[in-house]
A and B are shown apart, each in its own frame.
Chain A
Amino acid sequence: MQEAALVRAAQSGDRAAFGTLYEQHERLVHGALLARVCYQDAEDLMQDVFVRALERLPSLREPAAFCGWLLTIARRMAADHQRSKVPTAEPGISLSGGTRPDGQSFAVLAIIHRLPESYRETLILRLVEGMTGPEIAARTGLTPESVRVNLCRGMKLLRAQLEGHENI
């Protein structure tokens, strides 16, 4: 079933259709969250994003806009979360840390979090969520050229930042 048809079905109360939409967009939403908040908070916010989307789905008048609309909810909730959050140490930044999944992945994530915002989301969708550049462009609404530039420049910056970390 096409996405617009799934959205219309979900709007009429078909929870299985919403479940399918969830499965189709979970990596995109998780990547958008992980680009803005720490790993644990991204896990927690996944539920909140989809619950909010479900609550507001009846107000979405253009089913074809679902993907961009959902992404905006995720980005906004991540931003709201960061604004309201009491500053705490990022879990797992230490290379010797054993925090789940492992200290090395958290260390790289912490470095990505220090990159300019425009590169963070694209890099995380590519390197963490495993999406390709064309897929990222199609899902985020960015032009393929913008995604390609973000990937290349972000990767160059990430490489430069990683040079001082022998264990990565």
Chain B
Amino acid sequence: MNEDYLWDRSGEPDADIVHLEHVLGDLRWSKTQRDFTLTTPVRWRGRQRAWWTAAAAAVLVLGVGTALLVRRTQTIGPVTSWQLSLAGGKPSAVRAGQVIETAGIPHATMGSDLIGEVDIEPDSRLRLLAARTDEQRLALDHGTIHARIWAPPAEFVVDTPSAKTVDLGCQYTLRVTKDGVGFLTVNMGWVAFQSHGIESFIPAGAACTTRPGHGPDTPYFLDAPEALTQALTQFDLTGSNKALNIALAAARPQDGLTLWHLLQRTHAKERSDVYDRFASLITLPSNITREAILRGDRNSIDAAWNALQLGDTSWWRKWKRQW
């Protein structure tokens, strides 16, 4: 496949891609399909729907409003760009330091034009720790949020009881149980978990758990074999060599992401075993040596990452230094 042509139509056209462009071009939006006039701002159907929505939202907010606790703590700060909307009701400004609890609230959304949107599921506890130009920092004590972030990478951070979640330009779901275990799944882009020098980089389609007193586990793709994910959990929790060997045996080429993380979480014979399996599944460039990887050479580990074809390390290493 000519990836340059797929990327920006440069280079030799790829016949398959050209064919798909031709076939799918029939579905492209055409200006002739525009069948409404923008001089009519709200159509009748829109008005009717808006009225019903407003009425339903008002009833809902009245009914459950008392169940919501939007606390102002002693460290309450200034008004931020974040707006909180409860059950589709009128948005209100969120202050730095504010605590949002959604016990009994069916749907809450916090949004900022500059940063993104965060849907907050019922029975969640979220705190807005800081809202500065270079950092938007939240803490999810427990519950579930769905984040869609368009702020520059690394500016949106969510603390959990056991790791910091750093947005690298993406859409993700973060769940934290009441005993502090965090579980992250990424739908688009990238997210990083970081705690006390342990880091996990999680791309779209992958997931990762983080545990109090332990930090981020090893990430894995959601379609990975069950044998791999079960053994991985056991290895992350106990460091069992037997579990590591089961995980290595079950790994597929696309699980290179997982093995790359294991390279940095193992030592001596275990790292050697991980490298052997990694090298058998991933085509590594000739400048990577076994010896360099085993001694933890940063450039070689970066080059091994690049061989996964998940994106060059240069972009996230640059952001990482900002943490």
Q: Report which A residues bind B (CB closer than 8 A).
A: 15, 18-19, 22-23, 26-27, 30-31, 34, 39, 43, 46-48, 50-52, 54-55, 59-62, 65, 68-69, 71-72, 75, 101-102, 104-106, 108-109, 116-119, 121, 124, 126-130, 132-134, 141-143, 145-146, 148-152, 155-156, 158-159, 168
Q: CA separation between A85 and B224, bound complex, in Å?
A: 31
Establish whether residues A152 and B309, one from each chain, have CB atoms under 8 Å apart when the complex forms. yes
CB-CB under 8 A for A19 and B38, given A130-B21, A133-B6, A141-B150: yes
Question: Which label, helix, strand, loop or mixed, suits the secondary structure of the A interface?
Answer: helix
The chain B residue with its CB closest to the CB of A19 is B38
Size band of the B side of the interface?
35 or more
Partner of A132, one of B8, B168, B203: B8
User: What residues of A have a CB within 8 angstroms of the CB of B186 in the complex?
Assistant: 118
Q: Which of B8, B16, B20, B187 has most chain A Cβ within 10 Å?
A: B20
Interface-centre pick from B38, B170, B205 (highest chain A CB count, 10 A):
B38
Q: Judge whether B169 and A54 touch: CB under 8 Å.
A: no
Could you name 29 residue pairs across A and B whose Cβ atoms are closer than 8 Å?
A18-B38, A26-B34, A27-B28, A27-B29, A30-B28, A30-B29, A46-B29, A50-B36, A54-B41, A62-B81, A69-B113, A72-B116, A104-B23, A108-B20, A116-B204, A118-B187, A127-B24, A134-B7, A142-B188, A142-B189, A143-B190, A143-B315, A145-B311, A145-B312, A146-B311, A148-B7, A149-B311, A155-B6, A159-B16
A34 near B311 (CB under 8 angstroms)? no
B46 part of interface (Cβ distance < 8 Å): yes
Chain B residues within an 8 Å CB radius of A143: 153, 168-169, 189-190, 311, 315
A62-B3 Cα distance, complex, nearest whole Å:
36
In whole angstroms, what is the CA distance A61 to B188 when docked?
26
Chain B residues with CB below 8 A from A117, complex form: 187-188
A130 and B28 contact, Cβ closer than 8 Å, known pairs A50-B38, A104-B23, A150-B204 = yes
Q: Given known contacts A26-B29, A65-B150, A129-B29, is B169 in contact with A146 (CB within 8 Å)?
A: yes
* CB-based nearest B residue for A109: B27
Chain B nearest CB from A104 CB (Å) reads 5
Q: Is the CB of A149 within 8 A of B28?
A: no
The answer, yes or no, to whether B159 is at the interface (CB within 8 Å) is no
Report yes or no: A146 in contact with B148, Cβ–Cβ below 8 A: no
B residues 1-60 touching A (CB-CB < 8 Å): 1, 3, 6-9, 16-17, 20-21, 23-29, 31, 33-36, 38-39, 41-43, 46, 50
